[in-house]
Amino acid sequence: MRVRQTASRQVTSLDGVWNFQVDWDNNGIEKEWFKAALSTPRAMPVPGSYNDIVTEVDVHDHVGYVWYQRKVVTPKFGEDRLILRFGSVTHAGAVWVNDVLVAEHIGGYLPFEADITDYVKPGEEFRLTVAVDNRLSWQTIPPGRVYQDNTGHTRQQYWHDFYNYAGIHRSVLLYTRPAVHVEDVTIVTDIDGADGVVKYDVVATGAKKVSVRVLDADGKEVATAEGAKGEIRVKDAKFWAPGHGNLYTLEITADDDVYPQRFGIRTVEVKGYEFLINDKPFYFRGYGRHEDNIIRGKSHDNVMMVHDFEVMKWQGANSFRTSHYPYAEEVMDYADEQGFVVIDETAAVGMNCGLGGGIFGEQGFTTFSDDTINAETQKVHAQHIRDLIKRDKNHPCVVIWSIANEPETHTDASLKYFEPLAQVARDADPTRPVGYVNVMLSPPDKEKITQFFDVIMLNRYFGWYVQTGNLADAEKALRDELDEWIKRFPNKPIIFTEYGPDTMSGLKDYFRRPWSEEFQTDNIGMFHKVFDDYTEVVGEQMWNFADFQTTPGIMRVGGNKKGMFTRDRLPKPNAYVVRDRWLKKKEEQGS
Ligand code: E9O
């Protein structure tokens, strides 16, 4: 659960400038670096990706462990438990309090905690050490591979486009919590006329008494109930809706613990080709995004977060996808507040060797095989889906779970791999549509898994990766493929989750050729013209909100340049054209 300051929970932030050291030989754990102060520390901000903060290429490109360390004064915690919480450590973290290993976690985009009560004393100082490993394997989500190059350097390969930023990317908190406490709550809402129906289910092991109060946005009590589980009616409710971040709080009291869980009253449903929010057809306008910023890398930063939402609102967007991993909890909270609609995606990206290290690579190589992605990966992936849903289930902004981006889905092995995973998502949350994002290598005639999902999400690059620069052919190919999807998989709304060409900001061209600003306008305009002809298409999320950093590649110029905005969030000319379109749509659609 999100950490909240309440009468029963005291929160201390451990963010700041920590000590940092690269583990060149990746043997710090055997050498027990956690048992003493780091030998040659340098400064490193937390949260932050370390990669672009430094200037040495060896640190930037290091494959393996780096260490973070700081001193912490233990607050008074009385009879309570004292908990350490990391918003995310990318990709694996081991945490020591003095000499004691208190947590180990794999998975770079989700939070984890450690109960450190038994290892510290109030008022005393302790040494907090974190070993961070940026290595990926075939059994991690996302996958990757570590190898030695010809000169003996350790390198890492992965099949996703964005740069593998690493470090302690989100806030580190220390908080107190009563031993008997609210461990979890699930809130599901329905609408009945003008009223909201709120079903809640609290987990508070050992609690003698659980009661809840529903508070409106002003903190006024609007309903109460007794018991860990129940149904509450909120009279004349203010519904959460796209563009309307109306929120309530379920204030839970379990014995001595008080926990405020925010929620919104709204419904989501797929009906034929319609995507309904509160029974009204919704059309997605927006982007796939990245947690990516100059110098900060993948670090969460409130300045950048609020600015990005301002820019998205300026353009008339109403939604985004958390491509290609769970975003910071602060972002999900803010999307709730701003009434933004979110497609919430796991970190299952790059599970497609057909796309190679760059775009075209080891074609014909099967991704889902014993020596690559296998049953163990599937287990990790399933757990990751459960953890994401557990973290984000109470966010009204989340309307679709996307369980993977562009995986291989045209082989029998991939069918075997994904069928149970779709079910894992449904079991974890029976209330929201589930989908996955399809790649061009699996067109409708080859595709094998769409039947398990509620929506069709497509990443399409006609006119860019194929029919490059030929928009007439590109348009035909796009229409033909859309017709084929509708024929083979009817009654599933189609959302375009990626489209658009790389565009160098400032590159002008009378001939409107690929890479120019003119071409971005033409290519994206072609897609939009086609979307307008299909009622089955219920969303356009272009790729990408902003230019972002990648691994080096012959198709990358200082990163991926498919942004609507530059990496420092300035509009390319196309952004104004799309703004006109989206503001018009916003007026027509009311959100
Ligand atoms: C994923 C995203 O993270 N989709 C990629 C994006 C890109 O710009 C990347 O940034 O490259 C596009 C994959 C396109 C594959 C096209 C294959 C065409 C073969 C027919």
pLDDT tens for 168-191 read 999 999 999 999 999 999 999 999
The rounded mean pLDDT for the chain is: 96
Choosing from 346, 359, 481 the residue with most ligand 1 atoms within 8 A of its CB, the one to mutate for a pocket test is 359
Quick check: 318 and 341 in contact, CB under 8 A?
A: yes
The ipTM is: 0.99
Report the atom number in ligand 1 closest to the C-alpha of 160: 3
Please provide the DSSP assignment of 140-208 as one string.
SSS-EEEEE-TTS-EEEEESSSB----EE-S-EEEEEE-SS---EEEEEEEEETTEEEEEEEEE-TT-S
Q: Distances in Å between the alpha carbon of 303 and those of 89, 351, 512, 568? A: 21, 33, 35, 13
Residue 357 pLDDT exceeds 50: no
Query: pLDDT tens-digit profile of 363-396?
Result: 455 688 777 788 899 999 999 999 999 999 999 9
Distance 406 CA to ligand 1 centre (A): 8
Report the atom number in ligand 1 closest to the C-alpha of 548: 10
Residue 492 pLDDT exceeds 90: yes
Tell me the pLDDT band of 479, cut-offs 50, 70 and 90: very high
Choosing from 287, 498, 567 the residue with most ligand 1 atoms within 8 A of its CB, the one to mutate for a pocket test is 498
Residue nearest to atom 10 of ligand 1 (CA): 161
**CA pair distance 270, 490, nearest whole angstrom:** 13
Non-local (6+) Cβ contacts of 381 within 8 A are 141, 346, 348, 403, 404, 421
Query: pLDDT tens-digit profile of 388-424?
Result: 999 999 999 999 999 999 999 998 989 999 999 999 9
Q: 411 is written with which tokens? A: 């082989």
Distance 98 CA to ligand 1 centre (A): 45
Distance 231 CA to ligand 1 centre (A): 45
**CA pair distance 258, 283, nearest whole angstrom:** 38
Quick check: 416 and 454 in contact, CB under 8 A?
A: no
pLDDT for 590 equals: 85
Residue 358 pLDDT exceeds 60: no
Choosing from 408, 440, 542 the residue with most ligand 1 atoms within 8 A of its CB, the one to mutate for a pocket test is 440
Query: pLDDT tens-digit profile of 230-249?
Result: 999 999 999 999 999 999 99
Residue 361 pLDDT exceeds 50: no
Distance 425 CA to ligand 1 centre (A): 25
pTM over 0.80: yes
Residue nearest to atom 9 of ligand 1 (CA): 161
Angle between helices 302-315 and 329-338 (to 10 degrees): 40
% of the chain beyond a pLDDT of 70: 98
Q: What residue type is 29 in one-letter code?
A: I
Non-local (6+) Cβ contacts of 396 within 8 A are 189, 240, 247, 263, 264, 265, 266, 336
Looking at 51-60, 144-153, 536-545, which range is the least confident one?
144-153
Query: pLDDT tens-digit profile of 528-551?
Result: 999 999 999 999 999 999 999 999
Looking at 100-104, 159-163, 252-256, 315-319, which range is the least confident one?
159-163
**CA pair distance 425, 402, nearest whole angstrom:** 9
**CA pair distance 187, 199, nearest whole angstrom:** 6
Quick check: 264 and 240 in contact, CB under 8 A?
A: yes
| Catalytic residue list | 406, 498
Q: What is the CA radius of gyration of the chain?
A: 24
Query: pLDDT tens-digit profile of 75-120?
Result: 999 999 999 999 999 999 999 999 999 999 999 999 999 999 999 9
Non-local (6+) Cβ contacts of 451 within 8 A are 489
**Dihedral pair phi/psi, residue 488, rounded to 5°:** -80, -30
pLDDT for 360 equals: 38
Quick check: 464 and 508 in contact, CB under 8 A?
A: no
Report the atom number in ligand 1 closest to the C-alpha of 498: 4
Ligand 1 pocket by Cβ (under 6 Å): 161, 324, 355, 359, 406, 439-441, 459, 461, 465-466, 498, 543, 560, 562
pLDDT for 356 equals: 54
